[in-house]
Structure 1
Amino acid sequence: MPASRVNPSPEEFIRGRFELAPLSFRPDIRLYRPTPRSGLAGFLAERGEAGRTPYWAYGWAGGAALALYLRDHPEIVRGGRVADFGAGSGLAGIAAALAGAREVCAIEPDPLAHAAIALNARANGVAIALRPGGPLPEIDLILAGDVFYDPVVAAQTLAVLETASCPVLVGDPFRRDLPRRRLEQIAEYEVPDMGGGAAVRSGVFTLRRANTGNAG
């Protein structure tokens, strides 16, 4: 009788089927990323997540812009406590840790993302605490990359970020649902979206306090 098939854990699948490689725009950071041979779609289907976008599998343009901004301005996180909100692969949090942040946590509800973040953090020699959600922790800075990608999520995300008692930095490639009237742009980079392909413009923004601007 043939042995029964045991599906790999998320950690085993990522380690065994993804490629750990440096990012073109930040060669000092390595991420596990899928290749055409990884079988990611099949893995997600086996877990009942067919059709769901695996945000954790890629370095998106907003996170890339934040990673470059922290490379250029490490003083904004050095010695501080930082949260990577909607962390995905953990790219922004890793960049913060490499820039000298004292503590970094990743706020991310997807358990598959937790596996990716843990592996990516380990590959870069940094420590990132994992949080599934809940009230924002007491920290010094929030990094929010690629969190305004549809109108429902954008509204929910803005409402949460407005409760922050600390500054919020947003990274986004000028998506349609980005609440521009609530943001002040402070930087712009040309970066590859999803970690490859053609470069796109991506901005870094600060979130204005709720009583200093109009919602939009």
Structure 2
Amino acid sequence: MTSERARPVPRKYVLFDVDGTLIDAVANQRQVWGTWAVRYGLDPDEVYRVALRTRPMETFAAVAPHQDPLECLAALHTLEDEDVRSGVYAAFDGAPELLSALPSGCWGLVTSNYEHRVRGRFARTGLPVPDVLVDAAAVEEGKPSPVPYLLAAERLGAGPEHCLVIEDAPSGVKSGLRAGMTVWGVNTPVAVEGVHRHFGSLREAVPEILAFTTGAPGDSAI
């Protein structure tokens, strides 16, 4: 009697948000938006509150509806590019160890920022850049649409059911969930609504993320 061939075990994949998940950029984002707000005579705290939950063009429409949105965007881009060159950045504790330990080809980045800024920040913090990086320019629909995470999975050759999303923000969590992926939250004092698991810090999640990449189909990731 011929034994049946063992079916190959599908690989597991990890997709990371960047700012707030791998890179601690909260102070930088607040400063950039604060400088932008002052330039337009707006309240920095109110502008930042809106910017946290919307994309830039949506932020401009909400806080500066009478301004030229393209001019607003150009001003913001100039400030952000300068911040990449001169701002102070740090990787969250555990990020270098985690990214260095992940097998090549099984992880990627999904960010609402732009690739050149991500590469600049990673270069300054010593983090490795994967082959798959989906940025704001790669998609027409950003988070919370599922499109960014689905595109990253496609580029990795992965099915959504084999992907783990690591996020810190509500819009990113919704994006991963809508893509049909497992979503874990990190770096927040309380769990973002919808996450399958919550970790107060990235460091706490490191061993669990590494274990996920070696888990067999059917293993619980929740």
TM beyond 0.5: no
Q: What is the TM-score normalised by the length of structure 2?
A: 0.37
Higher relative contact order (CA 8 A, sep 6+): 2
Q: Greater strand percent: which structure?
A: 1
Q: Greater helix percent: which structure?
A: 2
Q: What is the TM-score normalised by the length of structure 1?
A: 0.38
